[in-house]
Each structure stands twice: as structure tokens, then as C-alpha cells.
Structure 1
Amino acid sequence: MNVSILSKSDYEEMKKLFLDVFSNEPWFDKWNKEQLDLYMKDLTENNNSLSLALFNEKEELIGCSLGYIFNWWEGREYFIKEFFISRKNQSQGVGSTFLTLIKDRLRDEDVQHITLATEKTVPAYHFYQKNGFSVLENSAFLVKKVIE
């Protein structure tokens, strides 16, 4: 497996993979084409975007990590907004391997932390904990609905 920056030529395949993962259990997201395109552009086309792609030995796209690099008083951090592995490759250690490859790459770029947010009720929560992520005791992820 190898990791590289997501290229424009892989963009459509990345969207298909994203839809396949998140339109199924346990998320069941209901993306329409326009909203998905806008969301993916938000994630991949900013100055601080870092979109990483995971390819298998056959050079097939099997995972992505879409996020942003931020400068913080403790140094640079990579905030993962979306992390996904193809459904046929889940529960085989591929996600853990991908996180290790990401960590190695970020270390070379002097990134101090990887941060992310996930729901406690989905398998991803335990996956991240198993891979060394911890819940910050003094932090909370908050949301306020604007349109009721």
C-alpha cells in the first residue's frame, strides 16, 4: 500500500468511494450530487487542505483522509474531517495501516498532532481509540442548529 496526495485524476473515484462508504451502515447518509460536489470542494480546494489517498498493490484507490493543516501555538496539526476505507477493505487492518502511513508522512512535515471528531455511537470511535487517539477531557464538540 502507498499513500500520496489525492490527485485531480482520482477525484471522481474518491467521491464514489466516499458515497459507497457513507451511504451504507452505520451512517446511511443521503447525499445529492450538488451537495456532495460542494462538500468535496470545501475539503480539497482550500489553501490548507491536505487530501491523502491510499492505494493498494494494484494501484486502486481504497481509502482517503481529507482534512486541513492548521498552525497552532503547539505547532502544526492535521485535522481529519473525513477518513474512509473501502467497505471491502474494512476490518482487515487497512485503516490502521493508513493511519500509520499518515503519521509517518506528517512527522516528516513537522506536524505535531492529528485531531478529528467522530460520534461515540459508531464503530469509528473505537477504531480511533484502538489507534492511539484519546478523548480530550476538557474539550467538547458543540453544535447549534441555525434553521429549525
Structure 2
Amino acid sequence: MTVIAPRRLELRDLKACAALFAQVFSTEPWSEPWGVDGALARLEHFHASPGFVGMLSLGDKGEVMGFVLGNLEPYLDCHLFYLREMCVASQRQGQGIGSQLYRALERELAERDVRAVYLATGRDIPAAGFYQGLGFRCSETMAFYAKGLKGD
């Protein structure tokens, strides 16, 4: 199956992306209980947020092979990009689709004078090695903090 060069992700693509997202992130190593409706709500939120940028990779029959998205953030005299989600079809992982998507994203961000990309991911999952292979490094000066909140 041929993969078409990545293009900008548009609103009309979100339902198909949500279906892929729910499928991929419901399996190992994430095993999160995503449904398509919840995934769609998350992706629509990012799409509607200021500074949205996303790229989409399709197969030759129009099926979504993967996507990457996030938001530009003003910082001093430039912009940073917070990569919020990246997803590649489970059966297509390891075939270069994710790298191709990320390179297309970097080209798009370079046109917008983005100076840095940052993201959060698990340290012990394959995604960490993937991002390191793209040149990402764990920050020595910054830390990611989280605090759970329980409802009444």
C-alpha cells in the first residue's frame, strides 16, 4: 500500500483521525479506554484552539495512516510548538510514516518561524525512542509535573 505525502490536517479529517486515535491508544502500550466520541472531542478541542497546526498522512485509498497535531504558542519574540498528539496506525508503525509526518510538520513550522517543539510522553514506551530518534532529548532543566484531582 502506498502512502501519500502528508498534507495539512483539516476539520473534515477529524472523524477519521478520531477513529484511528481510539483504535491505537486503546491497545498496548497505552491501553487507555478511548471511544471514537471522546477522541473526536479531544481532537476538535485542539483544532479549535488558537495556533492549531496539524499534518495528515493518507493511504492510496484515502484511509488515514497517521497524523500529528498541536498548537503554536507565543514566547518572547518567537513561537514554540506544543505537539499534543501523534498517531500512526498500529499495523503501519515502524514503516517511516511517523518520521515522514514529523518532517512535514517541521517544514510547516519553519515557515511560521517556530523556534522549538516540545511534547510529553511516557519514558518507557516505544514513542520515547521514536522521538529521541527525531532529535528530541529529555530536558535537563525542565520537569513535567502532574497532580490528580478527585471529584466528590
Give the TM-score normalised by the residue count of structure 1. Answer: 0.89
Give the alignment partner of residue 43 of structure 2, picking from 29, 40, 63: 40
Matching residue's letter, 1:7: E
Q: CA separation in 2, counterparts of 1:138 and 1:47?
A: 27
| Paired position in structure 2 for 1:53 | 56
Q: Deviations over 1:107-134 (max 9, x none)?
A: 1221111111101011100110011001
RMSD over aligned Cα atoms: 1.8
Matching residue's letter, 1:12: K
| Paired position in structure 1 for 2:29 | 26
| Paired position in structure 2 for 1:14 | 17
Which residues in structure 2 correspond to 1:1-148 (within 5 Å)? 1-73=4-76, 75-147=78-150
Shift of 1:90: 0.3
Percent of residue pairs bearing the same amino acid type? 26
* Structure 2, unaligned runs of 5 or more: none
Shift of 1:64: 1.0
Give the TM-score normalised by the residue count of structure 2. Answer: 0.87
Q: CA separation in 2, counterparts of 1:116 and 1:8?
A: 23
Q: How many residues align?
A: 148
Larger deviation: 1-10 or 76-85?
Answer: 1-10
Larger deviation: 27-36 or 4-13?
Answer: 27-36
Larger deviation: 77-86 or 48-57?
Answer: 48-57
Q: CA separation in 2, counterparts of 1:29 and 1:50?
A: 25
Q: Deviations over 1:3-26 (max 9, x none)?
A: 222222222111111111101111
